[in-house]
């Protein structure tokens, strides 16, 4: 007896603001899918109505019910239904729920098809004068002050541009913490309300952004310039420890003190020593 056909999971990117950014392929998939799984049924319902899509099942899948909702979606997929997964805006799984569903679909042998399109990350980088042929994506910074400060200290040591999201009520605090960490002169591209009516994109130093009394409402995507000369600037804690200890032990202790990744600190120490020794290693 032939195996019962299973459905396919489509991971569909939707507009981050301007509805005209929805691709024609994404619209076709949303119109043809029997089930649409989304963060907010009311918000996605407006998009579906705009394109004339009428799924038989509109299912909520968000941070608070992801495991339960994923199990329900898998039942639909096993029954042969096509399912479209969407986020409130942009590409699902990029700082949005959906990973558990995609992982479980793979584990169940169900096909997963990306339907690419809008993303705040690529939109910000497309307008960015900061070199970003290579970049690091951090997503949303931690909400708690201590964890956020450690994360920012780590980001400031990056030798590539860093893209991160920030909530409107924490933007000013994040800028102040960056300045307190010695990054007041670092360039930062701040994108607010991308593709929307009140879109603003501003390149300035962290210090200049902090002094700006412009609006702090809306969604923020930021691109932080990399450290100008990371090899010449070892972490001060790491440098003190490395003067007395082997490189591996110094990196391990520095990681416990600073919260930064041990491997990154170790590589940073090796880079600094190679630079000082003319490329002859750590000695």
Tell whether the model's pLDDT for residue 278 goes beyond 60. no
Residues 91-103, mean pLDDT to the nearest whole number: 94
Length of the chain: 283
Q: Is residue 250 domain-shared with residue 202, that is, in the same domain?
A: no
Q: Is residue 167 domain-shared with residue 244, that is, in the same domain?
A: no
Q: Which residue has the higher pLDDT, 255 or 210?
A: 210
Give pLDDT tens digits for 226-241: 987 654 455 678 878 8
Tell whether the model's pLDDT for residue 171 goes beyond 90. yes
Give pLDDT tens digits for 104-134: 999 999 999 999 999 999 999 999 999 999 9
Q: Is residue 222 domain-shared with residue 242, that is, in the same domain?
A: no
The number of distinct structural domains making up the chain is 3
Q: Is residue 256 domain-shared with residue 192, that is, in the same domain?
A: no
Over pLDDT 90: what percentage of the chain? 68
User: Among 244, 200, 240, which Cα is nearest to 219's?
Assistant: 200
Over pLDDT 70: what percentage of the chain? 92
Q: Is residue 1 part of a domain?
A: no
Q: Is residue 282 part of a domain?
A: no
Q: Is residue 3 part of a domain?
A: no
Q: Is residue 237 domain-shared with residue 220, that is, in the same domain?
A: no
Domain encompassing residue 83: 9-118
- Name the band, by pLDDT with cuts 50, 70 and 90, for residue 70: very high
Please report, for the domain that includes residue 42, its CATH number: 3.40.1010.10
Question: How many of the other CB atoms lie within 10 Å of CB of 131?
Answer: 11
Q: DSSP string covering 233-272, please? A: ---HHHHHHHTTS-HHHHHHHHHHHH---HHHHHHHHHHH
Tell whether the model's pLDDT for residue 14 goes beyond 90. yes
Q: Is residue 26 part of a domain?
A: yes
User: Which position has the token pair 């990117």?
Assistant: 13
Tell whether the model's pLDDT for residue 252 goes beyond 80. yes
Q: Is residue 64 domain-shared with residue 91, that is, in the same domain?
A: yes
Q: Is residue 141 part of a domain?
A: yes
Q: In the chain, where do the E strands start and end?
A: 9-12, 35-38, 57-60, 83-85, 112-115, 135-140, 161-166, 187-192, 200-205, 220-224
Give pLDDT tens digits for 193-224: 999 999 999 999 999 999 987 778 889 999 99
């Amino acid at each position: 007896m032939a195996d019962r056909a299973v459905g396919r999971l489509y991971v569909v990117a939707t507009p981050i603001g301007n509805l005209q950014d929805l691709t024609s392929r994404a619209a076709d998939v949303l119109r043809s899918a029997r089930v649409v799984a989304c963060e907010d049924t009311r918000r996605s319902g407006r998009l579906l109505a705009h394109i004339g899509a009428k799924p038989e099942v509109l299912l909520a899948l968000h941070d608070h019910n992801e495991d339960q909702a994923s199990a329900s979606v898998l039942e639909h997929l096993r029954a042969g239904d096509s399912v479209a997964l969407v986020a409130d805006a942009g590409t699902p799984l990029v700082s949005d729920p959906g990973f558990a569903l995609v992982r479980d679909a793979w584990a169940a042998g169900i096909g997963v098809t990306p339907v690419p399109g809008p993303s705040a990350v690529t939109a910000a980088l497309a307008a960015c004068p900061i070199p970003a042929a290579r970049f690091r994506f951090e997503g949303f910074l931690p909400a708690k002050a201590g964890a956020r400060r450690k994360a920012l200290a780590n980001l400031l040591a990056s030798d590539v541009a860093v893209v991160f999201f920030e909530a409107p009520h924490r933007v000013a605090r994040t800028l102040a913490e960056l300045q307190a960490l010695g990054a007041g002169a670092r360039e930062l591209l701040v994108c607010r309300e991308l593709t929307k009516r009140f879109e603003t994109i501003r390149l300035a130093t962290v210090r200049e952004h902090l002094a700006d009394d412009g609006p702090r409402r809306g969604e923020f995507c930021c691109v932080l310039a990399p450290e100008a000369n990371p090899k010449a600037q070892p972490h001060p804690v790491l440098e003190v420890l490395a003067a007395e200890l082997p490189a591996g032990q110094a990196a391990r202790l520095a990681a416990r003190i600073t919260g930064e990744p041990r491997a990154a600190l170790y590589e940073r120490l090796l880079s600094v020593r190679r630079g000082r020794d003319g490329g002859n290693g750590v000695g």
